[in-house]
Structure formats: structure tokens, C-alpha cells
Structure 1
Amino acid sequence: MSRRSVLSLACGALLLSACGFQLRGQQDYAFKRLAIVGGTPEMLGRLQRVVEGGSDTVIVKASEKPDAILSLSGGSGMRTLSLNAQGVVQEYELDYNLSYSMTGADGTILIPSSTIALNRALTYSDQFTLAKGTEAQTLFRDMQFDAVDQLTRRLAVVRSLHPAPSEALPGIAPRAPLPVPPL
């Protein structure tokens, strides 16, 4: 390697460490065997890859004596966000909700029922119906993956399988929806 490339690599590493950049690293979950109930196969696959790839926790079936059980249910929707002067839809709002809760093997509530609510805006044109349909599917998949990433960060908050009453985790309320734009 030339001296210039070594120097540029060293400067790049120094800049990244100076700005606080840090790789995600290894998660240390309180549970080592997790069963997941509900969810779509695509979401379950992503969740399994993220949990098993970033920790020593394994995903098992509910019948295989898990330490904790994660219950999931998701839903998506689409509503009109704005109309143009002719009354034709100009934008849609795409919504995705992931409801979840976690209980210990003995029934202890580790994470009370909570919801991750995400939304995206989609511009629309009748000229590009097929392309906009594909874009909507991509946005829904992106929201689903974003919800899984948020969920894994929420799972890391569980510190004990038998929390004291003072350590109980509160549920997380969804954020307020987008305001309706003026017509």
C-alpha cells in the first residue's frame, strides 16, 4: 500500500471515532431462548437474523421451553393524504403498526402490550399506477424492517426475567398521527 492510502485510511478511522460512530456490536439479552408467536414469515425471518446474528440468543418454538415468549401482530393500511384541485388523489399515507408484548416462561410480563406505529407519504399519479404500486410495496416492506429494528432495541431494555416491581417496563404509546393537510 502506498503511504498516501495508509494515511487516508488512518484519517478516516480517526474521523469516525471522533464523531462517536460505533458499530452495533453484540446485544446481551436477559433471555437466551426466545419463542415468537405471530407475525409474517418475512418479518420473522428478519427478526431471527437480527436477534441470532447479534447475540447469543436463539429463536425456538413455543413447545421447546423458551425463556421468554414474544407475541407479535402487525397490520398495514393506506388512506388519502391529499387531493389536487380536480379532486383526484395526489398523495397517500401508508401506515404500518406492529403490536407486541413479551412474557417470561412463568407468565411474568416483561414488556407490556405496546405498539410501534410507522407511516410514510406516497405521491400518486394515474400515469404510473404500476410503478406506484411497486413503490408502495417497497415502502411497506421498509416500514416492516424498520419496526423489527426498533423492536430489537426495545427487547434489549429487558434486564431480568424476574423484574422487581420498580423495574417494570412501561408500555410505549404510539406517536400522534400526521395532521391532515389543508385543502
Structure 2
Amino acid sequence: MRLNTLLSFILAAVLLAGCGFKLRGQVELPFASAYIDAPSNSLTEQLKRSLRASNKTLATKREEAEVTIKLTNPTRGKSILSLSGAGRVAEYRLEYKVTLSALDAEGNELLPESEIMMVRDFTYSDAQILAKENEEGTLFQNMEQDALRTILIRLRFAKAGGVAKAP
């Protein structure tokens, strides 16, 4: 019995290693310090946490940083996607948008202003109002985390004169 368990574990490890799976880890960013020019919200706090985890210094003044990261217009939206035959809402579309740009210490554009938009659709039922409200909150949190990952990836490939092509 123990031999079967051990062999199953080894087989799973070999299959995972063979498929190219690896842990996500931290994004390597091409700067040592950053100033974040953004309103205080959960996305801004998550970005600060991610930069600290990557051993980046968060400057308190724009002049002290190699890069100024500007996040503007973070918005959440909700619209009706479809109605049931009875005229009740059957599906909603959720949207999360934020505008990103980045400048170097001399004021040169590293990332031109661009909008990051996340969209999720979900079904709705009047019989499950509390569960659907909870699902909506979770979907917005997931979209915010996806937006953060997108921001970090764009910052990874930022360079003077615009964004470098990802390898």
C-alpha cells in the first residue's frame, strides 16, 4: 500500500515537471524604486504590496523614484446581459477598468496611458440573492487581481519610448 502511494506521488511529480508547470513567483521589474500616483484603494494597496515583495523601494516623493506609476479612473460597472422569458434579469456583465501610465525619473514616457479592462459575466437568480451578491463581490476581487497581474506584466516590459515587446 505504501509503495503504491509513493509511486503515485513520484509519477505525479514527474508528470508536473514534464508539462512545464512552475510556480508563478515574483515578476522581475526593471527598476529599483517607484512612486505610485494613484487614489487610495485596494488595487493601489495590492500594487504596493507586490512591489515591496519584489524588493522595490516605494518612494514618498516623485523626485526620489526611478519610475512613477500612475493609476487613474478605477471603476466598477454592472450591466444587464440578458433577461429571462418572464422579463427578469438572467445574466449580468461586470466590468472593472483602470488607466495605467508610467514615467521615468526624467519624465520620459515608459508606458503610454492605456486602459486595462476586465470583464466577467455571471448568471443571476432572484431565489439566490445573497449568494449572487457574494459571487459578484468575489468576481470583482478576481478582476482586480487580474488587473494587478496585467499592470505588473506591463511594467516588466516597460522601456523608454514605449513598451518593449514581450519575448
Whether TM exceeds 0.5 here: the answer is yes
Match of 2:96 in 1: 96
SS at match of 1:148: helix
**Structure 1 residues 40-119: aligned runs within 5 Å:** 40-53=40-53, 55-63=54-62, 65-73=64-72, 74-119=74-119
Aligned-residue CA RMSD (Å): 2.2
Number of aligned residues: 162
CA distance in 2, matches of 1:51, 1:143: 19
Asked whether 1:169 is paired with 2:163, we answer yes
Moved more, 88-97 or 38-47: 38-47
Moved more, 4-13 or 17-26: 4-13
CA distance in 2, matches of 1:72, 1:93: 23
**8 Å contact 1:36–1:62 — kept in the other structure?**
no
Unpaired runs of 5+ residues, structure 1, are 171-183
> How far 1:86 sits from its partner (Å)?
2.1
Match of 1:179 in 2: none
Match of 2:143 in 1: 143
TM-score, length-scaled by structure 1? 0.77
SS at match of 2:79: strand
TM-score, length-scaled by structure 2? 0.84
CA distance in 1, matches of 2:75, 2:16: 38
CA distance in 2, matches of 1:63, 1:110: 15
Unpaired runs of 5+ residues, structure 2, are none
SS at match of 2:28: coil
